[in-house]
Amino acid sequence: MLLKLTGSSCAGKTTLARAVADRLDGLVVHEFDEVGVPDPPIHPHWRNRMTELWVRRALEYQARGLDLLLSGQSPLGEVLAAPSAPLLDGIAVCLIDVADPVRRERLAARDGGRWDQDAVDAFCGWAAWHRGHARDPRFRPEVVIDGSWPEMAWHRWTGWTAEDPRWRTDLIDTTGRPMAESVDQVERWVTGRREAYRSAQ
C-alpha cells in the first residue's frame, strides 16, 4: 500500500513522516525528493516521472509485505494517474497543510532568503491549489495535467466528482499545533487507512 503525505513546502510533511517511522510495524518511510531535484524551473514531466518511480518502489515494498509512507508534493490526482498505480493494493493520500503566514515564516527560517517574494507567493498558491484539489477533482485539473508526461493516465479520474467515494484526500492542518500532536494525528491516519484497506473499504 502507498500512503502519501502531500502538500506545498513547509507544512511539515517530511518531519511528520520521519517521526512516525519507528512507531508502526511493516512501514517504510521515504521523502520524494531524496532521488534528487533538478534546478528550477522544474518541468512537470520530472514530478510525473518521479511519481511513477515511487509507485514502482511502493510495489517493490508491497511484494515484501511492507507499506510505503511517502512525503512529497504529488497530489492524489497525480498518484492515481501514474502508469503503474492500478497495481497497488491500496492508495491513501493526506494533505498536510499550514496557514500561509506560518508557511511564509517557515520558508524564511528554513531557506534563509533563498526565495524572493514571487517564489514565496507561488508556494502559497500551490498550497491553495492543493486544498481545492483535495476537495474536488474538478478544481483546476489543468494545473497538473497541462504539459504533463504523456504516459500519465489522467482519464482515470477526470470524470469523477467530489461525491465519488474513490476521491478522498484526508487533511491534517499543523497550524498552531504542537509537533507531538501532529505526529499522533499522522500515526492515527496511517493506522486508520491500513485498517480501512484490510476491511475492504
Do the beta carbons of residue 124 and residue 131 sit within 8 Å? no
Cα angle value 119/120/121 (rounded, 5°): 90
**Rounded distance, CA 71 to CA 69, Å?**
7
pLDDT digit string, tens, across residues 4-27:
999 988 788 999 999 999 899 999
From 104, 147, 149, select the one nearest 127 (Cα to Cα).
104
- Identity of residue 35: V
The three grid cell numbers given for residue 122, joined into one nine-digit string: 507561488
pLDDT value, residue 104: 84
Instruction: State whether residue 180 is helix, strand or coil.
Output: helix
Q: Which of 12-16, 80-84, 175-179 has the highest mean pLDDT?
A: 80-84
pLDDT digit string, tens, across residues 64-81:
999 999 999 999 999 999
The three grid cell numbers given for residue 151, joined into one nine-digit string: 504516459
pLDDT value, residue 120: 80
Dihedral sign (CA 160, 162, 165, 168): positive
Query: If you search the block for the grid coordinates 517511522, which residue do you land on?
Result: 21
Instruction: State whether residue 88 is helix, strand or coil.
Output: coil
Give this prediction's pTM: 0.92
pLDDT digit string, tens, across residues 97-118:
999 998 888 877 776 667 778 8
Do the beta carbons of residue 70 and residue 92 sit within 8 Å? no
